[in-house]
Amino acid sequence: MTIRPDRYRNAIVPHIYVDGASDGIAFYKRAFGAVELFRMARPNGKILHAEISIEGSVVMIGDPDDRLYSEPRALGRCTASLHIFSDDNAALLRRAVESGAEEIQPPTEMCTISRFRQVFLSVLSSLSPSRTA
């Protein structure tokens, strides 16, 4: 039987790659109250692997290695999305926009198995060094 650390209580943990992962972590801290759990850097300072926690869920993040993983801006569009369940989506949206995200759709009632209001944000531009300084 495999023993999982408590922080991996979910069966699937997202692992995202963005060029400038350090800036991405700083953005997630400002926008979503993320807590950095740890990071491992390459000799050049790029992040090999880091983990943050948002609302108790772990997200792994790192700089792409250009062998196995690329990043969204290289493709010109998003390659994944993260869903953050919040009791106050309006406050979450406000905080994200104040931190540099772009609202691409207002909070919307979505019809799914469980009904929730979803906030759509574009954060790709927010992770560029000029926007995170």
Asked if the structure places residue 25 within a domain, the reply is yes
Tell me: pLDDT of 119 over 80: no
DSSP state at residue 127: G
pLDDT at 125: 34
Asked if the structure places residue 46 within a domain, the reply is yes
Q: Please state the pTM of the whole predicted model.
A: 0.70
**Of 83 and 125, which is predicted with more confidence?**
83
Asked if the structure places residue 1 within a domain, the reply is no
Asked if the structure places residue 62 within a domain, the reply is yes
The predicted-structure confidence for 15-24, as pLDDT tens digits, reads as follows 888 888 999 8
Using CA atoms, how far apart are residues 64 and 70, in angstroms rounded to an integer?
5
pLDDT at 111: 54
Domain CATH number, residue 79? 3.10.180.10
Asked if the structure places residue 75 within a domain, the reply is yes
Q: Give the domain extent around 44.
A: 6-132
How many residues does this entry show for the chain? 133
pLDDT at 48: 92
Instruction: Determine how many CB atoms are found less than 10 A away from the CB of residue 83.
Output: 10
Using CA atoms, how far apart are residues 30 and 75, in angstroms rounded to an integer?
26
Asked if the structure places residue 53 within a domain, the reply is yes
Asked if the structure places residue 55 within a domain, the reply is yes
Tell me: pLDDT of 120 over 60: no
Tell me: pLDDT of 73 over 80: no
H helices of the chain, in order, are 21-32, 72-75, 89-98, 129-132
Tell me: pLDDT of 116 over 60: no
Using CA atoms, how far apart are residues 78 and 62, in angstroms rounded to an integer?
16
Our count of domains for the chain comes to: 1
* Averaged pLDDT, 70-78: 71
Asked if the structure places residue 36 within a domain, the reply is yes
The predicted-structure confidence for 97-114, as pLDDT tens digits, reads as follows 888 887 776 766 655 544
